[in-house]
Structure 1
Amino acid sequence: MARALDLENYIGHLIRRAEQVHTALWSRHVSRGVTSQQFSVLNALGREPGIDQRTLAHLTSLDRSTVNLIVRRLTDQQYVSQVRDEKDRRRTLLRLTDEGAELLSSLIPPAEEINEQLLQSLPADQRSLAVDILRRIALLGDELNTGEQ
């Protein structure tokens, strides 16, 4: 018999399943038209207007090619505007349009609700610990990406 992992105790499998739950909740309660990755781009631009795509990729923990595709789509939908940086003509600076800001504002309450729903699946005294653990795992990605550059 081949050796096999007990997937119910394998962190990668559990993270993937948790992501499936998040995606299902997102689609059901937040938006079918805007993905959570697109939301993270909108949200980052709402917090930091006038940034370039490299900075946006860093802030959202998305690779630059994914950010490029998302920005192109959001620009085509007139949620994001792009202007050349007057100080460095090679850079393009990104901002939410008025429509993009309205879209972001409409998505925040249901996004907060599913975040709360996910947290409520845990005992109250373990919620902040769970967020801390996930944050630490996510920070491993930053360390791995730093090593690749």
Structure 2
Amino acid sequence: MVQALQLDAYIGYLIRRCEQVHTALWAAHVSREVTSQQFAVLNTLARRPELDQRTLAEESSLDRSTVNVIVRRLVDQGYVQQVRHERDRRRTVLCLTPDGSQLLNQLIPPAQRINQQMLDALPTEDRATALRLLKTLAEADLS
């Protein structure tokens, strides 16, 4: 007899389903052109200008190869620029362009709305707990 998991009690399945819901909301209400990962990169650069790609990857919780592809695309689109560090000319850092800042400013309100929409699916008294638990899981070192 083959064993099978009860998927609705399996955390990986539930996280994947939540990601599917978020991705669908993102495409419908925020952007079909800018992914939530690209948004994370833009937002991180707005919060911490002049990051190198390695630090950007760490700060946005994306792997370095993914950030490399995203940065290349955002540079090609004119939303991010690569510049030499002012004091250490050997370092290349990343900055939002004015177009990148404008794009981010346009994306933030609908991103906030879908975040609230997902939170609103939970009972009011459970929202803070859900966020705390998700942060705990996201920051856990389970390796």
* TM-score bin, normalised by smaller chain: over 0.9
Q: CA deviation at 1:53?
A: 0.6
Question: Which runs of structure 2 are paired with 1:28-107 in the superposition (5 Å)?
Answer: 28-107=28-107
Which residues of structure 1 form unaligned runs of 5+?
none
TM-score, normalization by structure 1: 0.92
Report the count of equivalent residues: 143
Q: CA deviation at 1:116?
A: 0.1
Aligned-partner residue type, residue 131 of structure 1: L
**2:81 aligned counterpart, secondary structure:** strand
Q: Which residue of 1 aligns with 2:111?
A: 111
Q: Which residue of 1 aligns with 2:21?
A: 21
**How far does the alpha carbon of each residue in 1:82-117 deviate from its partner, in whole angstroms, 9 at most, with x for none?**
012244344210100000000000000000000000
TM-score, normalization by structure 2: 0.96
**More displaced 10-residue stretch of structure 1: 89-98 or 10-19:** 89-98
Q: Say what the alpha-carbon RMSD is for the aligned residues.
A: 1.1
d(CA) in 2 for partners of 1:89, 1:14: 46
d(CA) in 2 for partners of 1:2, 1:91: 55
Which residues of structure 2 form unaligned runs of 5+?
none
**1:95 aligned counterpart, secondary structure:** strand
Aligned-partner residue type, residue 5 of structure 1: L
Structure number having the greater helix percentage: 1
**1:50 aligned counterpart, secondary structure:** coil
**1:4 aligned counterpart, secondary structure:** coil
Moved over 3 A (4+): 86-90
d(CA) in 2 for partners of 1:80, 1:88: 20
**2:93 aligned counterpart, secondary structure:** strand
